[in-house]
Amino acid sequence: MLTFAIWVGFVLLSLSLLLNFWRLLVGPEVIDRILALDTMYINTIALIILYGLSAASGLYFEAALLIAMLGFVSTIAVCKYLLRGDIIE
């Protein structure tokens, strides 16, 4: 049962990554692309946690935490740049 659930989770998360990637390519404005990238970061965190669960190893949380931080900081930096024309004033 857990194996089945893990496979379904992999399939659903991969499909959602594909949908995000489509929005990243199509996105009519810059801000849609930023949102798509941010969502891709969050979905990747979920995918890594799922992989850690399937490999029965706790080593992947550090990677997930790192990706979470990098995604947050990069999104805020791009937003700041679009708002003010500068990142650190």
Q: Which residues bind other proteins (CB under 8 A)?
A: 1-6, 8-9, 12-13, 15-17, 19-20, 22-23, 29-32, 34-36, 38-39, 42-43, 45-46, 49-50, 52-54, 56, 58, 61, 64-65, 68-69, 72, 75-76, 79-80, 82-83
Query: H/E element holding 35?
Result: helix 30-54
Distance of alpha carbon 52 from the chain centroid: 16
- State in angstroms the smallest separation of the CB of 39 from other proteins: 4
Structure-token pair, residue 32: 């849609």
In whole angstroms, give the CA distance from residue 18 to residue 66: 22
In whole angstroms, give the CA distance from residue 40 to residue 88: 26
- State in angstroms the smallest separation of the CB of 86 from other proteins: 13
- State in angstroms the smallest separation of the CB of 8 from other proteins: 6
